[in-house]
Structure 1
Amino acid sequence: MGGQNTGVSTRIWTVPNVLSMLRLLLVPVFLVLVVAGEYVPALIVLVTASLTDLLDGYLARRFDQVTRLGQLLDPAADRLYIFAALIGLAANELVPWWIVIVIVARDALIVVLGVVLANHGYGPLPVHQLGKAATFALFTGLPVIMLGLAFPAVQPVSEPFGWAVTIWGAFLYWWAGVIYAIETARVVRVARVSGPPASDTLEQGG
C-alpha cells in the first residue's frame, strides 16, 4: 500500500514524470496527424495520452511521487494538446482561426499575470476550479469534433455537441482568466502595502 503523501518532491526521474514526458513527446505526432487529416490515429494518440495522464496522476499520489516537475508538465501537456488540436483543425479550415486566437490570448494573459506576480515576489496563482472545468471542456469538445471527422456516421450528433462544449469551454477559460486577473490585482495591492512574502509555493493556475 502506498504511503501518505508527505509533500512535493524535487525529484525528476520518477515513473509519473517519465509518463508525462512521453505525453509531451506525443504532442508533435498528434499535431502532424491532425494536420494530415488522419483523425483516427490522431484520436488513438490522444486517448493514449489521456490514459497516461490518469495513470501518472494515480501513481504520483499512490506512491508519494508528486513532484514540482510533474506539476509543471501535466498542465503544459494539456495545453499543448489543446493547441495542437486547434491549430491542426484550423489549418484544415475545420474550425475558425478566431477560436485559436481566443484560447492562445487567454494563456498569454496568464503568462503576463505570472510575470507581474513574480515581480512582486509571488509564485503563480493556485488552480481555480473554473480553470479546471474550462480545460476539461476544451479537452472534451475538440476530440468530439474530431470524432465526427474520423467517423462521419456520428458527425450529425458529435459536431454540434463538440462545438457546444468547445465554445462553453472557451467562455469558461476566459472567465477563469478574469478571476486570475482580479486576484492578481488584489495580491499586488497587498504586496505594495505589506511587502512580498518570504516564499510562495502556489501551484500553476489552470
Structure 2
Amino acid sequence: MSRLMESDPPDRVLTVPNLLSVVRLALIPVFIYALMVAHANGWAVAILMFSGASDWADGKIARTLNQSSRLGVLLDPAVDRLYMITVPVVLAFDGIVPWWFVATLLVRDGLLAACLPLLRSRGLSALPVTYIGKAATFALMSGFPLVLLGTWDALWSRVIGACGWGFLIWGLYAYLWAFALYAVQMTLVLRRMPKVAGGRA
C-alpha cells in the first residue's frame, strides 16, 4: 500500500506530454468525420496510428525528461478513455468490429467509473495507471488501425487485418487483466484508507 500512491507531480501545464494529449483529444472528432462522413479510411488509419504512438511517447517523455504534471496525470488517462469509447463504437457502427467487443470495453470502463465516488470518499481522484493498463491501451490502439487497414480488398489487407485482430484480442485480455489489478488496488484503498470529510484530501 505504501507504493499505491506516489508523491504529487509538479503543478504545471506547458509540457510536451500535455501537448501530445491535447492533440490526441482534438483528433477524436477529426477521426469520426474522416471515417463516418468523408469515408477517408486512409486518414482515419493515420489518426489512429499517430494516437497510439503519441500515447506511448507522452509517458516516455514525461519519465525521461521529468515532465510529469498533475494535469498530465489526469489528462492522459482521460483521453485514453475517450479513445477507448469513441474508436470501437465508431468502428462498430461501420461494421468493422462486432458489438460484443465494444460492449466488453464499455462495461469494463463503466465499472471503473462507478468506483470514482468511492475513491473520492478517500480523498483520491484516480488510481495509479498500471503498466499492463498502458500496454493494453497501446495494443488496442495498434490493433484498431490494422483492422481498419484490413477492410481493403487485397491479400496484403487481409493479412494486416488478421494481425490487427491478434493485437485486439491480446489487448482485450490485457484490458481485463488491468481491470482485475485496479480491483485489487481499490480493495486496498477501501480497507486501509479512512474516509475523508467532504471527499477531499
TM-score bracket for the superposition, by shorter chain length? 0.7 to 0.9
In structure 2, relative to structure 1, the CA distance for the partners of 1:44 and 1:17 (3 Å cut) is same
Q: In the TM superposition, what is the alpha-carbon distance from 1:28 to its structure 2 partner?
A: 0.7
In structure 2, relative to structure 1, the CA distance for the partners of 1:110 and 1:12 (3 Å cut) is same
- How many residues are treated as equivalent by the alignment? 193
Q: What TM-score, normalized by structure 1, do the two folds share?
A: 0.78
Across the aligned residues of Structure 1 and Structure 2, the Cα RMSD in angstroms comes to 2.9
Counterpart of 1:185, as a letter, is T
In structure 2, relative to structure 1, the CA distance for the partners of 1:67 and 1:151 (3 Å cut) is farther
2:121 is equivalent to residue 119 of structure 1: yes
> In 1, are the aligned partners of 2:133 and 2:175 still within 8 Å (CA)?
yes
Q: In the TM superposition, what is the alpha-carbon distance from 1:14 to its structure 2 partner?
A: 3.4
Counterpart of 1:40, as a letter, is G
Q: Which runs of 5+ in 1 are unaligned?
A: 1-5, 202-206
The correspondence of residues 14-53 of structure 1 with structure 2, limited to 5 A, is 14-36=15-37, 37-53=39-55
Counterpart residue number, 1:3? none
Measured in 2, the distance between the counterparts of 1:174 and 1:52 equals 23
Q: Which runs of 5+ in 2 are unaligned?
A: 1-6
- Secondary structure (helix, strand or coil) at the match of 1:149 reads coil
- In structure 1, which of residues 73, 76, 79 is the aligned counterpart of residue 78 of structure 2? 76
- In structure 1, which of residues 187, 190, 193 is the aligned counterpart of residue 189 of structure 2? 187
Counterpart residue number, 2:11? 10
Q: In the TM superposition, what is the alpha-carbon distance from 1:197 to its structure 2 partner?
A: 7.8
Sequence identity percentage: 39
In structure 2, relative to structure 1, the CA distance for the partners of 1:56 and 1:196 (3 Å cut) is same
Counterpart residue number, 2:4? none
Greater mean deviation of Cα atoms: 70-79 or 85-94: 70-79
Counterpart of 1:137, as a letter, is A
